[in-house]
């Protein structure tokens, strides 16, 4: 046993951890006697107090036992493996070397490894906003206002549905801007659209239920369904959106369908009026649910805003999911559900089992941000900013790549899809990182064989002056690809 006065850990902690490690690794066996506190303190040249404290902790946790007249020994009740004198094998274990049972459903989830570490490192990052344009001074003032006015009752649990003032503000906004048919009592505040989908799945679906998903489609949604034990049926997307007839032919009895009709993710196409009505008719005739993810519909650059699918629903078959991650900032972690009236209690129970309810302070800040008009002004301003970035990106892609690139989804949102022939998008994406390009490959968004190769290009975080040079680097990367 050795200790150091220069170590960052206290002397008693060093004594405690030294003995504990020796016991766990088998260097001290059950029943083996240890020095008295007085003897050890003398050997170490320290006060007896840290030794007493270290021994007391080891006694309390059951590593030591002490009897009058017998001194202190290693506890005889420790399992044999703790006193095994064989050397510890510290080599990394290979999968399968020991029985470690985990959820089979979790094996089907898409891992976001590397997703966050690479965000922001280069042009064309998807789902990133123009952070420099967010009105931080206004937001900070609202945060300060609410932080200084905290009262004891506000420290209790809030309404599981969310702050009433925020739900009223959101309901008013989506009725006007998105044509959603709702009232505040149908609106639930959630921690982003991902949690909204999780709650919806828990409330409506059972394991082995079949769910249509757009092909290609949003991988995080696929993970939610897989994690719930649902069976995902990929349904082709064309220029009019999800092909309802193909879904009905493949899996007519599906329990639900997940769609992004206003700006399909990742291709960006808009679902036509004909397909929307077909989908609503199918859902009504089969008693199925439609889950509409309206993640970035506030930004549309060509034509009039498109009414939500939920706004066309007359039979309460649609659950509407919205988020503030794109229109404000992703770290806010606030989104919302608009729930059919007769299902509110079921959704409330599912939500309560998940996390009881949302945090109150950010909701109060956001309610004021909307109520005082800052939200509407911010959207108008950002529509101009993103519109200019989008036009610059499209013009440069067409000028440099011409007919070699097919651009879809540029009419709305914060990303577009660039389809290219004769490339391997995953390989090029990895190489693009070295050129300061954040290229999201299109092919992994297919469950089956990838019908297209290309990239999902975000323009939210790339300023107009940076776009031409970024497109130049992309073109050089394409020209240098291996045959």
**Is position 251 within any domain?**
yes
**Is position 417 within any domain?**
no
**Is position 116 within any domain?**
no
Q: Is the pLDDT of residue 78 over 90?
A: no
Q: Is the pLDDT of residue 448 over 90?
A: no
Say yes or no: 78 and 201 in one domain. Answer: no
For residues 429 and 438, what is the distance between their CA atoms, to the nearest angstrom? Answer: 7
Our measurement of the distance from residue 138's CA atom to the centroid of its chain's CA atoms, rounded to an integer in Å, reads 27
Q: What is the pLDDT of residue 365?
A: 97
Residues 71-103 as b/e (b if ≥16 CB within 10 A, e otherwise) read ebbbbeebeeebbeeeeeeeeeeeeeeeeeeee
Q: What is the pLDDT of residue 481?
A: 64
In contact, 348 and 265? CB cutoff 8 Å: no
Q: Which of 343, 373, 403 is the last residue in one of the domains?
A: 373
The DSSP letter of residue 243 is: -
Q: What global pTM score does this model have?
A: 0.83
Strand ranges for 13-142 from DSSP E: 64-67, 71-74
The DSSP letter of residue 314 is: S
Residues 290-311 as b/e (b if ≥16 CB within 10 A, e otherwise) read bbbbbbbbbbbbeeeebbbbbb
Cβ neighbors of 221 (< 8 A, separation 6 or more) are 197, 213, 258, 293
What is the total residue count of the chain?
Answer: 483
**Is position 443 within any domain?**
no
Residue 421: strand pairing partners: none
Say yes or no: 154 and 79 in one domain. Answer: no
Q: Domain of 332: which CATH number?
A: 3.40.640.10
What percentage of residues in the chain have a pLDDT greater than 70?
92
**Is position 161 within any domain?**
yes
The residue-averaged pLDDT of 372-390 equals 96
For residues 206 and 203, what is the distance between their CA atoms, to the nearest angstrom? Answer: 9
**Strands 318-323 and 335-338, how do they pair?**
antiparallel
Lowest-pLDDT range of 19-23, 84-88, 100-104, 456-460: 84-88
Lowest-pLDDT range of 46-50, 248-252, 304-308, 427-431: 304-308
The residue-averaged pLDDT of 439-447 equals 94
Cβ neighbors of 381 (< 8 A, separation 6 or more) are 133
Q: What is the pLDDT of residue 83?
A: 44
The residue-averaged pLDDT of 282-310 equals 91
Q: What is the pLDDT of residue 114?
A: 52
* 198-237 pLDDT tens trace: 999 999 999 999 999 999 999 999 999 999 999 999 999 9
Q: What is the pLDDT of residue 297?
A: 84
Helical axes 244-251 vs 273-286, angle rounded to 10°: 30
Q: Which of 373, 388, 410 is the last residue in one of the domains?
A: 373
Q: Is the pLDDT of residue 419 over 70?
A: yes
Q: What is the pLDDT of residue 15?
A: 93
End-to-end CA distance of the chain: 64
Say yes or no: 204 and 301 in one domain. Answer: yes
Say yes or no: 363 and 235 in one domain. Answer: yes
SS3 (DSSP) at 247: helix
Q: What is the pLDDT of residue 106?
A: 73
Q: What is the pLDDT of residue 84?
A: 47
**Mean confidence (pLDDT) of the chain:** 90
Q: What is the pLDDT of residue 95?
A: 55
Strand ranges for 191-276 from DSSP E: 210-215, 231-238, 241-242, 256-259
**Is position 126 within any domain?**
no
- Number of structural domains (the chain) is 2
What percentage of residues in the chain have a pLDDT greater than 90?
78
More confident site: 117 or 375: 375
The residue-averaged pLDDT of 340-351 equals 96
The residue-averaged pLDDT of 347-355 equals 95
Q: Could you tell me the residue range of the domain that residue 24 belongs to?
A: 11-83
**Is position 280 within any domain?**
yes
* 87-134 pLDDT tens trace: 455 555 555 555 667 777 776 676 665 555 445 567 999 989 999 999
Cβ neighbors of 457 (< 8 A, separation 6 or more) are 124, 126, 393, 415, 416, 417, 418, 439, 440
Q: What is the pLDDT of residue 117?
A: 45
Q: What is the pLDDT of residue 99?
A: 63
The neighbour count for residue 143, using CB atoms within 10 Å, is 17
Q: Which of 346, 373, 400 is the last residue in one of the domains?
A: 373
Say yes or no: 220 and 299 in one domain. Answer: yes
**Is position 450 within any domain?**
no
Q: Is the pLDDT of residue 82 over 90?
A: no
The residue-averaged pLDDT of 238-242 equals 95
Q: Domain of 52: which CATH number?
A: 1.10.10.10
Label residue 274 exposed, middle or buried (CB < 10 Å: 0-12, 13-18, 19+): exposed
Label residue 149 exposed, middle or buried (CB < 10 Å: 0-12, 13-18, 19+): exposed
Q: Is the pLDDT of residue 166 over 50?
A: yes
Q: What is the pLDDT of residue 85?
A: 42
């Amino acid at each position: 046993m050795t200790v150091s006065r220069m170590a960052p850990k206290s002397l008693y902690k060093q004594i405690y951890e030294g003995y504990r490690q020796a016991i766990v690794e088998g260097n001290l066996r059950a029943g083996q006697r240890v020095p008295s506190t007085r003897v050890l303190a003398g050997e170490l040249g320290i006060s007896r107090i840290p030794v007493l404290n270290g021994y007391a902790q080891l006694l309390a946790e059951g590593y030591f036992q002490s009897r009058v007249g017998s001194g202190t020994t290693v506890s005889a009740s420790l399992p044999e493996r703790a006193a095994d004198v064989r050397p510890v094998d510290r080599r990394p274990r290979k999968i399968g070397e020991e029985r470690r049972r985990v959820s089979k459903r979790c094996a089907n989830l898409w891992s976001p490894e590397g997703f966050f570490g690479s965000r922001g490192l280069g042009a064309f990052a998807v789902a990133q906003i123009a952070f420099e344009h967010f009105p931080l001074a206004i937001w900070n003032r609202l945060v300060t206002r609410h932080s200084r006015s905290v009262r004891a009752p506000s420290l209790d649990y809030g309404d599981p549905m969310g702050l009433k003032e925020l739900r009223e503000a959101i309901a008013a906004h989506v009725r006007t801007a998105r044509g959603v048919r709702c009232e505040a009592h149908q609106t639930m505040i959630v921690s982003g659209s991902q949690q909204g989908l999780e709650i919806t799945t828990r409330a409506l679906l059972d394991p082995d239920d079949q769910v249509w998903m757009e092909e290609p489609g949003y991988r995080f949604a696929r993970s939610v369904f897989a994690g719930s034990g649902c069976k995902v049926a990929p349904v082709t997307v064309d220029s009019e959106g999800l092909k309802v007839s193909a879904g009905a032919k493949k899996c007519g009895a599906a329990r639900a369908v997940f769609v992004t009709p206003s700006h399909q993710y990742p291709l960006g196409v808009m679902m036509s009026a004909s397909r929307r009505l077909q989908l609503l008719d199918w859902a009504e005739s089969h008693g199925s649910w439609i889950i509409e993810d309206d993640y970035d519909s506030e930004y549309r650059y060509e034509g009039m805003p498109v009414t939500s699918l939920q706004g066309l629903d007359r039979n309460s078959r649609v659950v509407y999911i919205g988020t503030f991650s794109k229109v404000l900032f992703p770290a806010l972690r606030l989104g919302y559900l608009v729930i059919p009236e007769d299902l509110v209690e079921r959704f409330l129970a599912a939500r309560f089992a998940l996390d009881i309810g949302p945090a109150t302070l950010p909701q109060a800040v956001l309610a004021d941000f909307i109520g005082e008009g800052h939200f509407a002004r911010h959207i108008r301003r950002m529509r101009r900013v993103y519109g200019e970035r989008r036009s610059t990106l499209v013009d440069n892609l067409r000028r440099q790549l011409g007919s070699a690139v097919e651009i879809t989804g540029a009419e709305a949102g914060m990303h577009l899809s660039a389809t290219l022939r004769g490339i391997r998008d995953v390989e090029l994406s990895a190489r693009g990182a070295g050129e300061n390009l954040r290229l999201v490959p299109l092919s992994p968004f297919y469950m089956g064989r990838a019908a297209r190769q290309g990239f999902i290009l975000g323009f939210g975080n790339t300023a107009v002056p940076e776009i031409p040079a970024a497109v130049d680097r992309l073109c050089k990367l394409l020209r240098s690809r291996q045959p």
